[in-house]
Structure 1
């Protein structure tokens, strides 16, 4: 029986079979484990390579934009008073800006009325027409369902939401007031309220006319309505020219420039707005290009490096050592980097102060790049952008590696299939080893049975021989 020490022969069949099976399994299992480890490492390496290439392509895309070189930087000498941004349409120049008035929105407090928790103010039915000047008006209906200050407040907030009007209740020394605020700035947008009572008043009710306000304060009426903030437009001067705007964000006063007004300037103390080419943004993008390239080279170097460990030991090798894909990619990129284009002052990266180091990475000479930015900025777009620009040429060389169905995807597919094949080979090995084990047990058990039978036969013969007459006489002697 499989797994049981031989009864007939006394041989440890179980131990022998297991040893023989293990000896048969070990070489193939080691081979599969090594192949799986190597393939898994290569899959990880190819994934890291693809990620680095994609990051480099992103940097190339950022560099291959004409608008990058058309961008403008805008600065304000007093950003806490006027913030500024500029589009590509802005012309380089310097401007003196004075903020004389900030745009403001309207805010009014309606007449005060007695209103307590125990005795809330109640109003008769009717409607309130809330006007916002040139921005139109809206109407609020008042009936027994909402004829308190809180009810009218909620109705105004609901109806005035799309008009930018909100209502709150503020209680001062004179009583409770509805305070109406508008989010719209600019002159001729003051809030006024017209009341139209409808029907007789019940006991204790006030007429809606109490809440009317024509926009004119009565100084002697302390409980009457008040103007808390008057709507007005922003007024600025640019190089002495007056500009009026309904909002504090002014576009178009200076072409391509947006001014965000924060505070008034002191009289006759204008601030300075400077608009220039955004050389800093271009330099930042060039640095991103170099950083992404260096990361890609770092990944390739790490995956193709052979590191000796001494003492005759096997060197440590990268997952892609000797890999044609990595070698070809590296050669293609390097060839494109040194490819000279055009006949201007800037024909290659070296003209910008970007050179290759011993380890294959790039380094920027900041002084030389700064000089190029100052003297040859208009020639930069031709070097990097367009179909013949460096960014497009490099991207074209990289696309076959990263696109769907490309070189790296195909490599990954083959390696994934290898892993799947290893799993199948393990299953086949397990079946083969199981079959071998069963066969060995059958053979050893058959041998054990035969040995047991022979032993029994031998014992019977010996017993028979001992019982023969001559054997008995001999035994007496």
Structure 2
């Protein structure tokens, strides 16, 4: 290829090469490149426009997904106090509606009898599983299999159930759970030969080895009505505190055993012997408690709190050696080691020191019987006479006596320890104080006494969770009212209309055509004005909004609740008609929007509500294989072809520019040479002798 010089100016010849080449290339570019750049601009505009359309539809999809079943079937609670007096309780509880598990949908579960370990099920034997109205799925064993193999074959068949195995003292049990909840999705199993024990037909009178362990249940709402509620006691979590330990105290011998509620006993051996090491070891265990350290400014106290509230979640701690200081009995008392009944103690050999909280009292031992020795009863009496806010008593376990200490009065929550020397060494004991005792919440609902381990009380009023905060008094007369929230339905319906109108206006703007008012000028069109894909999407959306829904007991279309189309394509809501529908048929409105066909594959079913259908439709439109993705991918492919063509044209134009430049440069040189020759010949002719 010849190289363009392009720098030859008119001084090299009579031609302006640069201008000539520029004019020629402008003409070439106009005819070859401009149509391609115009086309690329059109593709980019459409790609951007479809991106805006996808954004508008995604926003609409998010708004629709927010309109859950609860949005159109919401209920509300109110609490009133009709008591008399000037010091009535305020806000003793609140009520959360439809948070109680009693209203949630449940799937059916069935379980086989016990299967012995190693039982083999033969190749070729089969089982057929039918869920609801679906066609049965047949599962045939391809080889001899254990119960695990049967489970895996069922799960691989996608029969609409999930198979699992549970084990107890009777062997292994095959459990089948329907993948879809509700009474319409019950399980029926037929089987043969070695698999026959797994047959299950709820309509058959023949006993079956498969039994139902969880009945299917449809979703429901909280039970509307008025309930008289009083609260006599709040649930409480047990909290214990140790005696004070000087910072740096170590615990070199022993271990801890902690049992919370009905849980197993956890043995704890701290890896470091400081109080912090004890705390960390407890928290690292699975003992059902949390441990912290609280300083009173002088000493450190280990505080242990049960993780769960309720009377059943009491803490029992047994410590040995140095860790005996953390012992605690659920009764709140401190009990000495075994004492042989009748055992005497020396009047002069030994002492007793009682520590309650941070106060230490030396016990004056009184020989009331004047027999020269101290009996356990006299030890008890001496402690009681000390006035240390501790009551001493004696218990007998059938063989041995025990000195029992119970903190009372202002010391009722204090840690207590008794230190003996000499003859009294065997009475040494220590333990933690109880800051808070474990207790259940106690309340009355319509005169029925209810207890709960938590202050969140469930399963008492169906669908309602009561959150207890205060104890009521005899002067209070609280009523909890559960009712349908028609205002919530109005809010949801307005949101439904508003979301669609926002989308409709956005798409109208994207497809708008504005006729010119000037004669001869063309119409101004938005990027998507001529796109049939957009019209197709809007047609599908309007068709879904116009569709009918079964099961509404008189409410089957949006027009039945006052929602209709206006001339501009947006929706309008008749508030009066909606209010009347909500009052007369609250459940029908929820069905209209959020009903779901048990056959989830039939997305256009008349058993599906409007919102349910819209969600399926939008999921399809916005999916990776949907209409917008397909259109965008096609435009991007066309743009890639266009860009490749532009690159090829630009290469040709560059080569053509070089060719034009070289040709005109050569012509300029030639013309310059000819001009020089002409000048020379002219001079020579002028110098020739003239004829006389």
Q: Deviations over 1:275-320 (max 9, x none)?
A: 2345455444433332222122112210111235755666542111
Change (3 A) 1:438 1:373: same
Q: 2:587 aligns with which of 353, 378, 381?
A: 378
What SS is found at the alignment partner of 2:625? coil
The CA RMSD measured in Å over matched residues stands at 3.4
**Which of 91, 97, 102 is the matching residue for 2:234?**
102
CA contact (8 A) 1:49 1:296 kept: no
The equivalent of 2:493 in structure 1 is: 286
Residues 188-337 of structure 1 aligned to structure 2 (within 5 Å): 188-197=312-321, 208-214=323-329, 215-216=332-333, 219-220=389-390, 224=416, 225-307=432-514, 316-337=524-545
CA gap 1:61/1:112 in 2 versus in 1, 3 angstroms: closer
Matched residue SS, 1:108: strand
- Looking at structure 2, the residues matched to 364 and 391 of structure 1 have their Cα atoms a distance apart, in angstroms, of 16
Contact 1:170 1:179 in 2 (8 A): no
* Comparing 237-246 and 344-353, the one that deviates more: 344-353
Cα deviation digits, residues 352-406 of structure 1 (max 9, x gap) = 1112233211121222211111112233355343421444555676666434333
Identify unmatched segments of 5+ residues in structure 1.
198-206
Query: Does structure 2 retain, via aligned residues, the 8 Å contact 1:104–1:232?
Result: yes
Q: Shift of residue 241 of structure 1?
A: 0.7
**Structure 1 position 82 matched with structure 2 position 207:** no
- Call closer, same or farther: CA 1:322–1:216 in 2, change over 3 Å: same
**Number of aligned pairs?**
454
Tell me the distance in 1 between the aligned counterparts of 2:69 and 2:304: 49
- Displacement of 1:97 in angstroms is 1.3
The 3 A distance-change label for structure 1 pair 265 and 192 is same
- Counterpart residue number, 2:139: none
Tell me, in whole angstroms, the C-alpha distance in 1 between the residues paired with 2:619 and 2:269. 66
Corresponding residue number in structure 2 for 1:200 = none
Shift of 1:77: 4.4
Contact in 2 for aligned 1:76/1:274 (Cα 8 Å): yes
TM-fit CA distance, 1:234 = 0.7
- Give the aligned partner of residue 14 of structure 1: 18
Q: Residue 389 of structure 2: SS of its match in structure 1?
A: coil
Report the Cα distance in structure 2 between the residues aligned to 1:396 and 1:127, rounded to whole angstroms.
Answer: 61
> Partner of 1:404: helix, strand, or coil?
coil
Q: Tell me, yes or no, if the aligned pair for 1:59 and 1:285 is still in contact at 8 Å.
A: no
Deviation at 1:102, TM superposition (A): 0.5
Does the 8 A contact of 1:8 with 1:453 survive in 2?
no
Partners of 2:240 and 2:304 within 8 A in 1: yes
Give the direction of change, closer, same or farther, for the CA distance of 1:177–1:427 in structure 2 (3 Å limit).
closer
Q: Distance in 1 between matches of 2:591 and 2:320?
A: 70
SS at match of 1:244: strand
Alpha-carbon contact 1:98-1:268 (below 8 Å) kept:
no
How far apart in 2 are the matches of 1:170 and 1:416? 69
Shift of 1:47: 1.9
Question: Is it true that 1:419 corresponds to 2:652 in the alignment?
Answer: no
Matched with 1:38 is 42
TM (norm. structure 1) is 0.82
Report whether the alignment pairs 1:156 with 2:365: no
Residue in structure 2 matched with residue 203 of structure 1 by the alignment: none
**Partners in 2 of 1:176 and 1:61 — Cα distance?**
54
C-alpha separation in 1, matches of 2:489 and 2:437? 45
Deviation at 1:235? Answer: 0.4
CA 1:151 to 1:49, structure 2 compared with 1: closer, same or farther past 3 Å? closer
Q: Tell me, in whole angstroms, the C-alpha distance in 2 between the residues paired with 1:122 and 1:332.
A: 76
Using the TM superposition, give the Cα deviation of residue 45 of structure 1 relative to its aligned residue in structure 2, in angstroms: 1.6
Which blocks of at least 5 consecutive residues in structure 2 are unaligned?
Answer: 82-89, 104-219, 335-387, 391-406, 417-431, 598-604
Identify the residue that residue 438 of structure 1 maps to in structure 2.
658
Contact 1:70 1:277 in 2 (8 A): yes
Offset, 1:129? 3.3
User: Partner residue of 2:253?
Assistant: 125
- Alignment partners' CA distance in 2, 1:252 and 1:227: 31
Q: Aligned equivalents of 2:324 and 2:66: distance in 1? A: 63
Does the Cα contact within 8 Å between 2:258 and 2:287 map onto a contact in 1?
A: no
Q: Which moved more, 1:8-17 or 1:28-37?
A: 28-37
- Alignment check: 8 A CA contact 2:72 2:492 kept: no
Q: Say whether the 8 Å CA contact 2:14–2:672 is kept in structure 1.
A: no
Q: Which of residues 179, 185, 189 is equivalent to 2:309? A: 185
How many Å separate the matches in 1 of 2:301 and 2:643? 80
Residue 225 (structure 2) pairs with residue 93 (structure 1)? yes
Tell me if 1:111 matches 2:243: yes
Relative to the length of structure 2, the TM-score reads 0.58
